[in-house]
Amino acid sequence: MVARAMWKGQLRLSLVSIPVELYSATKTGARISFRQIHEPTGKPIRYEKVVDGHGPVDADEIVKGFEYDKGNYVLLDPDEIEAVKLETRKTLELVQFVGSCEISPLYYDKPYYVVPTDELAEDAYRVVRDALRKSEKVGLGQLAMRGHEYLCAIRPCGDGLLLETLHYADEIRKADPLFSEISGAGADEELLEVATALIDRKTAKFDPKVFKDHYADALRDLIDSKTKSKTSKRVDTGDDDKPAKGGDNVVDLMSALKKSLETSDGKKKAAAAKPSASRSTKTESKAAAKPKTAPRKKSA
């Protein structure tokens, strides 16, 4: 599956602008996900947007509201929000540089790969990458994406650049109230020496491949075991389990294609077995004499 750019714009350093694209550096597909099932009926749980005293509502009836006072909201139309123009929607300007170890891990949020859009942009891109690497600095800037303006740090990453969104200062919870009960006294020297020796013995170069998600592996083993067991409880959600918009998958597509093929074959057979004109006219007359009934609605 081809990766989709999360943001497209210009990476700017002073008067130099480099066309770039952002791609998420992490993936969630490797994680095990579950679907909630209503056990008595075996049907999947669905969530609807509802209004008290009104019931389900359509998506085009929903607007954003900001609670400026308890129970009081000012409403904002999507077009009004879209009209808020920020330069950072299309430009990420590196406005400051700091030492690569100066930013506390507390501030790091989500990583993205920064990729030049074409060969013309690549020359300037490599200059910025190598300059950051040589100076051992991280570039700071801001960009607007998905309705938020993010503080960002850019650093070299292999042959490219890595952007990491950062939390703003007011988003970080102070540690003082939580750590205030911990004594400020130093550790026992003898115990400290043993602990330091143990750390030295276990020190090695970081290799993420060494670490495995044991919980996910155990879940996969459990699922595999229950799938193979004939006594495991199972449900068939049926054909009415329609995916949400934009959530089509290969299984649903294959099912739709097969149904289309069956319908096409059925029409061909019906055409081949079509009755003569006189017989068809009689049949139509009988059908016209019968009272019409409303088509039965399919259950949701």
Q: State the Cα–Cα distance between residues 125 and 17, nearest whole angstrom.
A: 9
Write the Ramachandran bin of 133: left for phi over 0, alpha for psi from -120 to 50, otherwise beta. Answer: alpha
Decide the pairing of beta strands 64-69 and 72-76. Answer: antiparallel
Q: What is the reported pLDDT for 94?
A: 94
pLDDT grade for 262, boundaries at 50, 70 and 90: low
pLDDT at 127 over 60: yes
Q: What is the reported pLDDT for 46?
A: 83
Q: Per residue in 214-256, pLDDT tens?
A: 777 787 788 788 788 878 777 676 645 454 444 444 445 456 5
pLDDT at 166 over 90: yes
Q: What is the reported pLDDT for 195?
A: 93
Average pLDDT over residues 124-152: 93
Give Dmax over CA atoms of the chain in angstroms. Answer: 107
Q: Higher pLDDT residue, 224 or 258?
A: 224
Amino acid at 176: D
pLDDT at 289 over 60: no
Residues in the chain: 300
Q: Higher pLDDT residue, 74 or 33?
A: 74
Contact, 156 vs 129, CB < 8 A?
Answer: yes
Integer angstrom CA distances of residue 290 from 283, 284, 287: 11, 10, 5
pLDDT grade for 264, boundaries at 50, 70 and 90: low
Q: State the Cα–Cα distance between residues 154 and 164, nearest whole angstrom.
A: 6
User: Taking the model in full, what pTM does it have?
Assistant: 0.63
Of 2, 9, 293, give the one whose Cα is nearest residue 163. 9
- What secondary structure does DSSP assign to the chain, as a single string? -----SEEEEEEETTEEEEEEEEES--STTS-----EETTTTEEP----EETTTEE--GGG--EEEEEETTEEEEE-HHHHHT---GGGTEEE--EEEETT-S-GGGEEEEEEEEESSHHHHHHHHHHHHHHHHHTEEEEEEEEETTEEEEEEEEEETTEEEEEEE--GGGSPPSHHHHTTS--PPPPHHHHHHHHHHHHHT-----GGG---HHHHHHHHHHHHHHH-TTS------TT-PPPTT---HHHHHHHHHHHHHHHHHHHHHHHTPPPHHHHHHHHHHHHHSPP-PPPPPP-
Q: Per residue in 95-125, pLDDT tens?
A: 999 998 999 999 999 999 999 998 889 999 9
